[in-house]
Amino acid sequence: MRTYCFFAGFVLALSPLVGPAANAQPVPASPEAAGEAPKEALGAAQAPGLAQYQREALAQNFALAGKELEKQRRAAEVRVVRSAYYPTVDLSARYTHFFFGGLDLGALFNPVYGTLNQVTGQAGFPTDLQLRLPPALDAKLELAQPLYIPALSTAQKLAGLSQQASQVELDLVRREIIAGLRTAYLGHARAAQVAALLRETRALLEENLRVSQQLVAADKQTGDVVFRARAELAAHDQLLRQVEEAQRGGARGQLAARRLA
């Protein structure tokens, strides 16, 4: 009469879901597991919806955004170092006075005109002239081209290595995010399928309990079969609660991988 021995198989098959690993945080996978490039990580061979989750995670993750800004900063440093090799043009202009504040030509002509007035006996020449020269425009255009700067070559190499390191860090964070999201997504999907299967099979255990009670009432079985059927139903419900908790843990892991990784 015992046709429900498959329940023990459920317990063995679902043990990875209800163990400590079910609620653990996603562990970053190796570059081979996460994919060699973002395009591979977002390939069409993935589970439905996972590619969209990965795109959202890469767009919303705070750690990845910080690494992207760091990469841009180091790229700007490389451009600054390279710009030192380029020629520079400097234009400067100012107004200036000649002869320490400006030469007053009237001071030269006024005495001469005064002498002429005395000779002629007439005031025919002005003696109060003010002929100060206007300020002159002094403009300079300088063109400089560095020929040899030993320290500049070393600085350029260091800046290039720093930029490469930032790119490696960015790729590593991206792969860790994708690996963590995959782990959480697949764990959540597996727990959801198992939970649905357990809900469907509960009716079988209920029917087993009902039949066992009828057999005991008809004196065709002993009372221990009823206790065994109730124990199996209680264990089934406990396992279902654990699987549902693992499912919620997978959802939390997806959120953590998308935003806080």
Are 28 and 175 in contact, with CB atoms under 8 Å apart? yes
Are 89 and 143 in contact, with CB atoms under 8 Å apart? yes
pLDDT tens per residue, the chain (261 residues)? Answer: 443 443 444 443 444 444 433 343 333 333 333 344 344 333 434 455 777 777 777 887 888 888 999 999 999 999 998 888 889 899 998 877 766 556 777 778 888 888 888 888 888 888 888 777 777 788 899 998 888 888 888 888 899 999 999 999 999 988 888 888 888 778 777 888 888 888 888 888 888 888 888 888 888 888 888 888 889 889 888 888 888 887 777 666 666 655 544
Q: Facing residues of 104 across strands?
A: 132
pLDDT for the residue 70: 92
pLDDT for the residue 102: 62
Question: How does DSSP classify residue 132?
Answer: B
pLDDT for the residue 99: 61
C-alpha span between 26 and 110 (Å, rounded): 98
C-alpha span between 261 and 89 (Å, rounded): 48
pLDDT for the residue 35: 40
pTM over 0.75: no
What is the SS3 assignment for 138? strand
